[in-house]
């Protein structure tokens, strides 16, 4: 299998339970809930996505013929300083995101990334069952989409969404439950709504997109 990857870059995880942790982000091309083209947004299942996942023209992106080639490209982004590498060798993290990464992330690539010492996290919409071996599964359900990945480490619900109440997913098999205010022109209002919901329903925690606040990728 070959892999189409939009971009690969090193930064800090900006949201959710691992906020602030250094990671290599591997953004796969393509999604099953929106084509990524503005002309298709009105008819898409997910209409609020703000991510460019079309093509392979981003930083470090490309079409990789093998899992080994893709894993090597990810590994090349991790700091190569000898002291940094020694200190963080057991903390190497790759975040597989998209688009929808589980359309491409498979057992072969998981094995290749593990072989290079990476802990593997995935950010998925939950419409595809995750293959075995992923170390951290973060599911972000979307209204109108079939949710088949119903367990993992983290559930992160963009809020508010019409026709998707947090109560519908709060009993699923996750360790952490986050509400993340929907970005856009009414972000301040959405943040207040998410804050209030978390205060009224203590099972939920607030997730902010700190990378946007800090101006980092």
* DSSP per position, 99-157: S-GGGT--HHHHHHHHHTT-EEEEEE-SSSPPPTT-SEEEE---TTS-----EEEEEEE
pTM of the model: 0.95
Cβ contact 155:171 at 8 Å: no
pLDDT at 201: 98
> Which member of 51, 85, 111, 168 is catalytic?
51
pLDDT at 20: 96
> Which member of 31, 96, 138, 198 is catalytic?
31
Residues with pLDDT less than 70, the chain: 81-90
CA torsion angle 14 15 20 21 (round to 10): -100
> Which member of 38, 50, 81, 200 is catalytic?
50
pLDDT at 216: 84
> Tell me, what DSSP letter sits at residue 162?
T
pLDDT at 83: 59
127 has catalytic annotation:
no
* Cβ atoms < 10 Å from Cβ of 104: 21
pLDDT at 205: 98
96 has catalytic annotation:
no
Q: How far is CA 61 from CA 50, 78, 109, 120, 203, in A?
A: 19, 15, 16, 18, 38
> Which member of 11, 106, 108, 211 is catalytic?
211
> Which member of 49, 96, 138, 198 is catalytic?
49
9 has catalytic annotation:
no
pLDDT at 213: 82
46 has catalytic annotation:
yes
> Which member of 7, 25, 96, 124 is catalytic?
25
């Amino acid at each position: 299998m070959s892999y189409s990857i939009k971009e690969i870059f090193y930064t800090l995880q900006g949201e959710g339970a691992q906020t602030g942790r250094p990671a290599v982000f591997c953004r796969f091309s393509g999604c099953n809930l929106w084509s990524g083209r503005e002309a298709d947004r009105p008819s898409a299942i997910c209409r609020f996505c703000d991510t460019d996942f079309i093509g392979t023209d981003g930083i470090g992106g490309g079409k990789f013929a093998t899992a080994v080639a893709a894993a090597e490209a990810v590994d090349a982004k991790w700091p190569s300083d000898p002291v940094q590498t020694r200190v963080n060798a057991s903390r190497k993290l790759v975040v597989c995101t998209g688009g929808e990464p589980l359309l491409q992330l498979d057992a072969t690539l998981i094995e290749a990334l593990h072989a290079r010492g990476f802990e593997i996290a995935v950010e998925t919409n939950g419409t595809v069952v995750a293959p075995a071996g992923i170390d951290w599964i973060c599911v972000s359900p979307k209204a109108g989409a079939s949710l088949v990945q119903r367990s993992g480490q983290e559930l992160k619900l963009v809020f508010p969404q019409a026709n998707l109440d947090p109560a519908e997913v709060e009993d699923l098999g996750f360790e952490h439950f986050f509400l993340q205010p929907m970005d856009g022109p009414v972000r301040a209002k959405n943040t207040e709504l998410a804050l209030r919901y978390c205060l009224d329903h203590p099972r939920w925690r607030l997730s902010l997109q700190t990378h946007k606040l800090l101006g980092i990728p």
